[in-house]
Amino acid sequence: MSMTHPQLSADRLTLGYGPSAISENLSLSIPPGSFTVVIGPNACGKSTLLRALSRVLKPSSGQVILDGKPILSLPAKQGAQRLGLLPQSSIAPDGITVADLIARGRSPHQGLFSQWSAADEQAVLSAMHATGTTGLSRRLVDELSGGQRQRVWIAMVLAQQTPLLLLDEPTTFLDISHQIEIMELCRRLNEQQGNTVVAVLHDLNQACRYATHLIAMKSGEIVAAGPPSQIVTEELIREVFALPCTIIQDPVSHTPLVIPLGHEAI
């Protein structure tokens, strides 16, 4: 895996599905080496932005830049060696085992006639260990619980061994214990392995606790961006989520802790 931090930015994007635009003239830069989290209410454009950053969605105008080049100009395999995506919902082929699904994460590193290598094997084993899926390796993905499946999909992205990871709601379907495991895994990948991680999250307090850089969106626009301790205020939460709150310091992480007051306080 390349140790150089990927440079990912968006320049004046117009994004949408069909004739209607979700975002217009949207520009941003992902800080290299950061754990960036995108927050915002439902249907504000978070997942659409992530799909554009990962070249799944072609912008109507503007461009996404990866390592100084328009991402759509890069060969697909080259892009897949730099950037891995966990989409919001994934469907596994019928009858596939956990080990075989995770192994598919190695495809960007293999040529047409290349053999399965020791490096491929180690990447898969490391990804299973990191996500706690080693004991599931021979199980069929169809037989797993929602939380188990989510961890298997994350393992497949990790096996890809890209320096940039884009995760769309990675804690979906997980109970609170496994949510924290995944967030701590993302932090380890960021701090210890040097991955730049970009995740869409719904949980504000998890975003504040784990992110080094926060992007707050509303109605397809970026309202604020920066370290959580600098941008998360009662005014921002009210503006973005229409939610009255008070903010205190988390006694464990010393990051902003959002305490909702309820809509009757509006």
Vertex 123: Cα angle to 120 and 125 (nearest 5):
110
Residue 128 CA neighbour count, 13 Å, CB half: 21
Model's pTM, two decimal places? 0.88
Integer Rg of the chain from CA: 19
In the chain, the DSSP E strands lie at 8-17, 20-30, 35-39, 61-66, 69-70, 83-86, 164-168, 196-200, 213-218, 221-226, 245-249, 256-260
Return left, alpha or beta for 67; rule: phi > 0 is left, psi -120 to 50 is alpha, else beta.
left
- 239 with 43: CB under 8 angstroms? no
Cα gap 45→67, rounded to integer Å: 24
Backbone angles phi, psi at 94, to 5 degrees: -60, 140
Cα gap 147→68, rounded to integer Å: 37
Q: What's the pLDDT at 94? A: 87
Cα gap 192→212, rounded to integer Å: 14
3-class DSSP state for residue 223? strand
Backbone angles phi, psi at 245, to 5 degrees: -155, 170
Q: CA separation (Å) from 26 to 96, 118, 170, 245, 257?
A: 39, 43, 24, 28, 28
CB atoms < 10 A from the CB of 232, how many?
26
Q: Which residue has the tokens 């784990």?
A: 210
pLDDT per position in the chain (266 positions), as tens?
445 677 999 999 999 887 788 999 999 999 999 999 999 999 899 999 999 999 999 999 999 999 999 999 999 888 888 999 998 877 888 899 999 999 998 887 776 566 788 888 999 999 999 888 999 999 999 999 888 888 899 899 999 989 999 999 998 878 898 889 889 989 988 998 889 999 999 999 999 999 999 999 999 999 999 999 999 999 999 999 999 999 999 999 999 999 999 766 55
Q: Is the dihedral of CA 197, 201, 203, 204 positive or negative?
A: positive
Q: What's the pLDDT at 266? A: 57
Residue 3 CA neighbour count, 13 Å, CB half: 3
